[in-house]
Amino acid sequence: MAKTRSHKDLSLTNELDYQYISKPGISENLIREISAYKQEPSWMLAKRLQAFKIFKSKPTPTWGANLSGINYKKIRYFLRPIDKVAGSWSEVPKKIRETYQKIGIPQAERKFLAGVVAQYESMAVYQSLQKQLEKQGVIFLDMDTGFKKHPELVKKYLGTVVPTADNKFSALNTAVWSGGSLVYIPKGVKVDIPLQAYFRINAKQVGQFERTLIIAEAGSQAHYVEGCTAPVYAADSLHAGVVEIIIKPGARLRYTTVQNWSKNVYNLVTKRAFVYEDGIMEWVDGNLGSKTTMKYPSIYLLGTGAKGSVLSIALAGAGQHQDVGTKIIHGAPNTSSSVVSKSISKESGRTSYRGLIKIPKNVKNCTASVVCDALLLNKNSRTDTYPKMEVYEADSGVTHEATVGQIGADQLFYLKSRGISENEARNIIVQGFIEPIVKELPLEYAIELNRLIKLEMSGLVG
Amino acid sequence: MSLQISNLSVKVGSNLILKAINLEIKPGEIHALMGPNGSGKSTLANSIMGHPKANRIAGKIILDKKDISSLPTEKRAQAGVFMAFQQPVEISGVSIRNFLRLALLAQKTQFKLNVFQNELDKQAKALKFEPDFLKRSVNEGLSGGEKKRLEILQLLMLKPKYAILDEIDSGLDIDALKTVAQGMLRAKRMGIGLLVITHYSRILKYLLPKKIHILVKGQIVKTGSKQLAEKLEKSGYQAF
Amino acid sequence: MKNLNKKKLIIPTSLKPVILYRINGVQEIEIKVKPGVKAEVLILNNFQKPRIESFLKINIKLYQNSKLNFVEGISGGQVIETRSVVKLLGSGAECQVTNMFQGNKNEQHVFQILIDHQSPNTKANVLVKAVYKNHASGKFQSLIKVGQKAKKTNSYYQDEVLLLDSAKAISSPTLEILTDDVKASHGSSVSRINRDQVYYLASRGLDFEQARECITAGFFTSVIARLPKAFCQPFLFKE
């Protein structure tokens, strides 16, 4: 069994000499500063400024989780730890490497270290592209570098999937974005190893506004893995990322996230994929951390025969609210989608599933299935299910099923009769509950996730 | 008088599954069609019955001199074709008794209700169904064996001119196999021509088919008497 | 505002089934089922005239160990809305709700139900079945709420919608569960006529219309077992 790290290790914060630390709060001046600092073309500055206006004009949403605790004035919107993006692991500053070691980068990263784009604070500090990928013409860069090297690509696609005005947080992200990944898979290229990015928040009140753009050209295939874990802080933190994915005809992409932000972070992420003819998009989403998460990875099936699937797990402990779900729009005939969502609520934790399946008029022969299972562990745990199925075309098939239950007394008794302790038995049942999703993760992440859930269950973290 | 398949070629999607098939079954005859998995046996059954996905690109299906090749499925059924499904479809909430009555009405068969009820009870009993069985929904929650016997019950009640039985023997234990075979022999005695699609020769020992056709890769590669089944038993399809 | 019709129905002892009729206009019905009482209530519409707009609000309160079998059958009408609130106030209260909808032409149906479990050992089971043809549409919204005190609750909601032609449907079955020792689930399906079933029936000689009729008739059969016995007959197949 993997060695578990204790909670205390995670709270250690290394002091770093930030070369640039913005003051808390957001203003037009700050945005001009960020843009100037990054030496951006004028169109990007204009985009940022326009986004800032939209951000200011939109109220904080009230239809989902409670976001009243966010104090936009106290958040730092930009900082960068080092000047240059490192080319190899040894070039990464020692202190940062130490922090990485402390939070325990999964084995996966060590194994494919050469392919890791790691984000530290608001900018990537380390990135190394495997030679093999370069040969294939694959672009896998942190977004800042990516934007410098491939401005035309970014200009062409940025904001086409998630428009600036989509919601308050996509506007905020567009105004102050930093970091994230730029991934481009050329036509017909199949990337065998998972492309992994690993990032975390490490300073008080730092907002993390990464922007990721993935373009999978026709017939290509890749698996992008984003995992994050963050230390504990006193003040509330904000993470408002935006992920945009474009899947061209016949391409296939899987996007895996294991989110373990510290328990004071507001994690408000907009993730969306456009899928064209016969393309396949798969979201695999694990939500363990944060104070409040609102995340609904969406799929727009825009070409005939396109497929989409969402697999998600959410775990909410005391004081946490995981408000997750998905939106799938069947915009073309013969498309199909499947959603499996599993959640566990512990102590006063609350999980919510919020989903929309839409089949517009005259879009024929689409099928969709949604399965939501919730497990409640304590008397004061809470779970909600808010699905919606809008079917405007009779030639379709949509099903939704949801169950809510607790750990069965007979299951516990059975396991205990075999000599297993109550805690271990609960663990086994929870692990069995999430197994259908865990088995979809890359092995190293599956181990990491199981270990994290075990930690959460035993109350060592929280 | 016969069910005649002449020069039939069929595509499913973009794949050519059947290539110039010729077959002729006369009233009261039993023919067997054997072949390995994926040889096109079920496609042939579905082509005769007029499945929307079986796309006939050449050839004809003639039933007693009438060309039924272009008719929709229900018109073929009304003309006298029956198919026993390999996997009979469940229709919830529709009792077997009512379903058979509806089917007979659809085929414009003249019948008196009490005569129909009596015959149904008699046939059901002969196929070893309990009296309450007919109240159950069509195929819903039935065991594999029950579904297959129910297909035979429908055959005997609907009395088509010709029937194609797609793997009617699969998943049956020895007793059920005998019951099903006896039902088929009753159908033969009524003058129904039967095309029995199967993997195994065991049911053929009861049925004693007049002819055996071997289908490999969408073509009938050999037609012969029942000795052909014995040969198959020994050497497999490799020999063809 | 059209004529508002209010009705209070207090069911003090176990009785024969009560039948209520919907009217053209706005209607409110309050049903209280006293402790220990077993009640059956059937709401029917017999709209002969076209262009009917009927809005019905039903408030149901169930006290300790009471049981209610509630059935509503709706067909036709221009716009028909039913908004029900079922409060399971006393421990051991049980409620079975069955709704059948048939819509044709441009008919619109809206169905909303809140099942509010406030006491322990309460049970609810809701089944909604609907078939829409032509341009008819249905909107189904449900919320099962299980409060912190409602231990050992068992609650189930199921809607099944069959769409034909250009019909459409929106379904939003929701759950809010605030305690752990409960069983709650829901299922929802919006689908077309199964093509394999149509083919199977065609192979037995039924044309598309006949097959559709047969399948939709079968579709409603599962409701029969839930009806008050006295009212089963009209829904059964004529043998």
Instruction: Read off the pLDDT of residues C7-39 as tens digits, 9 standing for 90 and up.
Output: 888 887 777 888 888 888 899 999 999 999 999
- Please, where are the H alpha helices in chain C? 195-202, 208-224
Which is it for the CA torsion A312, A318, A320, A323, positive or negative?
A: positive
Express each pLDDT in C214-233 by its tens digit. 999 999 988 888 887 766 55
pLDDT for the residue numbered A100: 54
**Domain regions of chain C by residue span:** 4-192
Q: pLDDT tens across C97-150, in order?
A: 999 999 999 999 999 999 999 999 999 999 999 999 999 999 999 999 999 999
- Would you tell me which residues 357-386 of chain A have a C-beta closer than 8 angstroms to some C-beta of chain C? 361, 374, 376-386
Which has the higher per-residue pLDDT, B226 or C2? B226
Contacts of residue A309, Cβ cutoff 8 Å, sequence gap at least 6: A280, A281, A282, A283, A337, A338, A339, A340
List of chains touching A (3+ CB pairs within 8 A): C
Per-residue pLDDT, B95: 87
Beta strands (DSSP E) in C104-177 are 108-117, 123-132, 137-146, 154-163, 168-177
The amino acid occupying position C55 is: F
Non-local (6+) Cβ contacts of B123 within 8 A are B153, B156, B157
Alpha carbon distance A148, A48 (integer Å):
16
DSSP state of B182: H
Q: What is the pTM of this model?
A: 0.80
When CB atoms are compared, the residue of C181, C183, C185 closest to A402 is: C185
- Residue pairs spanning B and C at CB distance below 8 A: 82
Rounded (5°) CA angle A363-C186-B137: 80
CA distance C8 to chain A (A): 32
Rounded distance, CA A120 to CA A95, Å?
Answer: 11
Query: What is the per-residue pLDDT for C94?
Result: 97
Q: How far is C160 from chain B (nearest CA, A)?
A: 13
Closest C-alpha to C115, from C81, C80, C150 = C150
Q: How far is A296 from chain C (nearest CA, A)?
A: 17
Q: Taking residues C86-103, what's their average pLDDT?
A: 96
Q: Report the residue count for chain A.
A: 462
Instruction: Report the DSSP pairing between strands C18-21 and B219-224.
Output: unpaired
Residue identified by tokens 């038995």 is A425
Beta-strand ranges (E) seen in A41-194 are 79-80, 117-120, 123-127, 139-142, 181-185
Contacts of A199 (CB under 8 A, 6+ apart): A118, A119, A120, A179, A208, A210, A226, A228
* C-alpha span between A383 and A344 (Å, rounded): 8
What residues of chain C lie within 8 A of the CB of A388, using their CB? 170-172
- Set of chain C residues whose Cβ sits within 8 Å of the Cβ of B90: 197
* Half-sphere exposure in the Cβ direction for A319 (13 Å, CA): 11
For residue A196, list its beta bridge partners. A225
From residue A222, alpha-carbon distances to A46, A147, A258, B85 in Å are 33, 21, 17, 42
Q: Is A43 on the interface with C (CB under 8 A)?
A: no
Cβ pair A174, A51 in contact under 8 A? yes
pLDDT in tens, C156-199: 999 999 999 999 999 999 999 999 999 999 999 999 999 999 99
CB of B83 within 8 A of CB of B49?
A: yes
Pick the more confident residue, A417 or B219. Answer: B219
Cα A396 to its chain centre, rounded Å, is: 31
Buried b (16+ CB within 10 A) or exposed e, B87-115: ebbbbebbbbbbbbbbbbebbeeeeeeee
At residue A267, the 3 state secondary structure works out as strand
Give the tokens for residue A194: 């998972």
Residue C77 in 3-state DSSP?
coil
d(CA B54, CA B10): 6
- Asked if residue C209 has pLDDT above 50, the reply is yes
Residue of A nearest to C188 (CA): A400
How many other C-beta atoms lie within 10 A of the C-beta of residue A455?
Answer: 18
| Count of residues in chain B | 240
Query: Which residue in C203, C222, C237 is closest to B73 by CB distance?
Result: C203
Q: Is C18 exposed, middle or buried (0-12, 13-18, 19+ CB in 10 A)?
A: middle
Q: For residue A49, what is the enclosing H or E element?
A: helix A42-57
- What is d(CA C205, CA B82) in angstroms, rounded to the nearest whole number? 9
Are the CB atoms for A303 and A218 separated by under 8 Å?
A: no
Residue C231 has phi, psi (to 5 degrees) of -110, 5
Q: Which of A356, A381, A389 to mutate to test the interface with C (most CBs of C within 10 A)?
A: A389
Query: d(Cα A158, Cα A272) in Å, to the nearest integer?
Result: 12
CA distance C180 to chain A (A): 5
Q: How far apart are the first and last CA of chain B?
A: 31
Q: Chain B residue closest to C212 (CA)?
A: B91
> Do C177 and A388 lie within an 8 Å CB cutoff?
no
B162 touches chain C (CB under 8 A): no
Distance of CA A71 to the CA centre of its chain: 22
Q: Among partner residues A388, A402, A404, which is closest to C182 by beta-carbon distance?
A: A404
A429 in contact with C at a CB cutoff of 8 Å?
A: no
Find the helix packing angle between A42-57 and A28-37, rounded to 10°: 150
Q: Which residues of C fall within a CB distance of 8 Å from A390?
A: 170
Residues whose CB falls within 8 Å of the CB of residue B49, separated by 6 or more in sequence, listed in order: B73, B76, B77, B81, B83, B164, C203
What pLDDT tens digit does each residue of chain A (462 aa) get?
333 333 344 444 444 444 555 678 899 988 998 898 889 999 999 999 999 999 999 999 998 999 998 989 888 787 655 444 445 556 555 655 555 555 555 544 443 332 344 444 333 433 455 567 888 999 988 888 899 999 999 999 999 999 999 999 999 999 999 888 899 999 999 998 788 765 434 443 344 888 999 999 999 999 998 865 444 443 458 889 999 999 999 999 999 988 877 778 899 999 999 999 999 999 999 898 889 999 999 999 999 999 999 999 999 999 999 999 999 999 999 999 999 999 999 999 999 999 999 999 999 999 999 999 999 999 999 999 999 999 999 999 999 999 998 887 777 777 777 777 777 778 878 888 888 888 888 776 777 677 777 767 765 433
- 3-state helix, strand and coil shares in percent for chain B, rounded to the nearest 5: 40, 30, 30
Per DSSP (E only), the strands in A277-425 are 280-287, 292-295, 298-301, 307-316, 321-330, 336-345, 350-359, 366-376, 382-391, 396-406
Q: Is C191 within 8 Å of A399 when comparing Cβ atoms? A: yes
Q: Are strands A382-391 and C25-33 parallel, antiparallel or unpaired?
A: unpaired
- Round to whole Å and give the CA distance between A218 and A92: 36
Q: Are C58 and C88 in contact (CB under 8 A)?
A: no
User: A152: alpha, beta or left, given left = phi > 0 and alpha = psi -120 to 50?
Assistant: alpha
CA nearest C26: which of C57, C71, C70?
A: C57
Does the beta-carbon distance from C148 to A380 stay under 8 Å? yes
Which whole-number Å values give the CA distances from B157 to B47, B145, B179, in the listed order? 23, 19, 16
Reported as a pLDDT band with limits 50, 70 and 90, residue B44 is very high
Check contact A-C (3+ Cβ pairs < 8 Å): yes
Q: Considering all CA atoms of chain B, what is the largest pairwise distance in Å, rounded to the nearest integer?
A: 54
* Torsion of Cα atoms, A136 then A137 then A142 then A145, to 10°: 150
Dig out the tokens for C70 from the structure: 């509630």
Q: Look at residue A9 in the predicted model and tell me its pLDDT.
A: 42
- The rounded distance, in Å, linking the Cα atoms of A22 and A9 is 27
Is there a contact between C28 and C2 (Cβ–Cβ < 8 Å)?
no
Token code pair at residue C43: 């709401």
CB A340 within 8 A of CB A375: no
Phi-psi region of B227 (alpha: psi -120 to 50; beta: other; left: phi over 0): alpha
Instruction: Judge: B77–C204 Cβ closer than 8 Å, yes or no.
Output: yes
